[in-house]
Chains A and B, each alone.
Chain A
């Protein structure tokens, strides 16, 4: 007998990329936002300030700067909330120290960086993709991190939900990179039925408090995380710590912590790696792109197909950990790859690194604050 069909509660709305981020965050169970206004990310803060106080326990707080914004988010996450902040280039630079803190203390949070042209104040607010390597390596010291990207408004929503899920699952900060174009594009999107949306919330400990180890080196590499004030009193510190959270400089314990931090991301690589292969089955020339450029590339690939070129698009949704297996597959398949991006080659250097001289890699860089057009990518494809 067929299951009783339930009426789907989907809604269609006309939204900005930034607004879709808010929809995604609320869908994922976010109840805390702290941040500092900076264009082109401000709509996220504005929307949150109107929506969160209407939720039970929902908190929006505008802090004195971006450093304070991320600090408050970490505090709220320690207190058990799903928390996020959003910013853009200069603010992202200010947040770097606290990203490192969240990595070492394993605090789940989502940070949306709407990329604008830099460096420094740069060109407010023209689009760019110049913060890709900063998102990976911006904070000091070795650390694992998850960096995601979104290329259209619907994807902004889905990737925000995914970002929260990854953050909660792996107890790590997750950075969602948008660009000004995606954030400020308004288009029709579908709000999914909350019952059909996969939402993961962090595991909390169930053992007696005296057995609990906040930084245990277990199989998953991730310990359950109790909210502050729930009976599990433990120490949180940015110092290298042992499994109790107490500071240590014992080489064995230091090594164990660092290895586990990397392992907890590495061993779930295939859960985290997200790419879209578009017209890639028989492709001979492959475009690898992410963010709004991937959208232009999709049209360019279609047009190239119409002209008889066997072109394909590998769209990267996870930027870090770098989706090496997916890229290597295209390298083996296609003698020519094109990497268009709105920077001087931040992702193409990763692709060249894994390519190791096997295929020809052409970069297509644009750094004048304008988007890369489908026409530009098409003519590069046709050049071969």
Chain B
């Protein structure tokens, strides 16, 4: 067995019945692998890691891993995570959400978690579609693309998840894709160790739902398309404006020093109790 496979097996739940729910060609498994590598490289104990997920394909990720795992309601993962982190700041709380989860139904919670700057690592797995319910359009479905609820093409503009998080005050914001596993490892590790709210948007293609409706014959075609479209932030800034339009920009958009809300609370408590 390859070393990395062995490593991943150390973190999977052997009491859980496999196979997993992900379709062939799904990017979510790559994210899970990256998450495990990141936790391992940071040397975190399994007991100290809590995975909190919402509803949808991404919501099914935590059940397979031997951490503390909480599969919550649709869009509200961040609220549960806020409670967990405030109740026990010692825990490393990682929140896994989909695009519909984080930005549609849970948009209110994302903007407020970012504003609060609470010490959570939020991974938003953006596949541009509602995968589990059968391929309906989401708030990140690109303009003009097709889904089961936009049979004539999407008329609405899409959300730029990273930009939303940044303007709402998130102190670490990055975007990566499942085509750049090492970059993803680095971004996830940084978000986990970042003291405030760290959000990583991960572009993870859904061939079964999005690809099928948008003329990608195979999942490989989709990954190639994603690779072609992605461009690092440095390179993007050198691009002429006409070439910038459809690019998936990857890299760190925001990284600032801060203290997390849970730490501020602890300081306030110590002050009130006269302990310095």
Contacts and interface: CB of A to CB of B under 8 A. Distances in A.
A99 to B, nearest CB: 11
Given A68-B82, A75-B80, A98-B73, A56 B47 contact: no
B40 to A, nearest CB: 16
Interface string B64-91: 0011111111001011111111111011
B276 interface: no
Contacts of B91: 79, 228-229
A79 B108 contact: no
A98 B52 CA distance: 15
B47 A75 contact: no
A235 B51 CA distance: 10
A65 interface: yes
B122 interface: no
B83 A71 contact: yes
Contacts, number: 139
Contact of B47 (A63, A230, A246): A230
A235 B112 contact: no
B68 A53 contact: no
B79 A75 contact: yes
Interface in B1-53: 13, 15-17, 46-48, 50, 52
A59 B84 CA distance: 11
Give the interface centre of A78, A229, A237 by most chain B CB atoms within 10 Å.
A229
A71 B76 contact: yes
B71 A74 contact: no
Interface stretch (B181-189, B203-211, B265-273): B265-273
B73 A75 contact: no
Interface in B87-130: 87-88, 90-91, 108-109, 112
A221 interface: no
A68 B76 contact: yes
A295 to B, nearest CB: 36
Nearest to B261: A61
B15 A68 contact: no
B83 A73 contact: yes
B106 to A, nearest CB: 9
Nearest to B83: A75
A72 B72 contact: no
Contact of A235 (B71, B78, B87, B88): B71
Given A64-B112, A78-B84, A231-B47, A238 B90 contact: no
Interface in A231-246: 231, 233-239, 244, 246
A77 B83 CA distance: 8
B62 interface: yes
A247 interface: yes
A34 interface: yes
Contacts of A224: none
Nearest to A75: B83
Contacts of B80: 71-72, 74-75, 78
B87 A79 contact: yes
Contacts of A98: 73, 76
Contacts of B71: 235-239
B72 to A, nearest CB: 7
A229 B73 contact: no
Nearest to A231: B47
Nearest to A32: B87
Nearest to B105: A67
B63 interface: yes
Nearest to A81: B87
Contacts of A238: 71-73
A57 B269 contact: yes
A72 B79 contact: yes
Interface in A62-91: 63-65, 67-81, 83
B83 A83 contact: yes
B76 to A, nearest CB: 5
Nearest to B82: A72
Given A229-B50, A234-B68, A61 B82 contact: yes
10 contacts: A65-B108, A67-B76, A69-B79, A71-B72, A75-B86, A80-B88, A101-B72, A228-B88, A229-B48, A239-B71
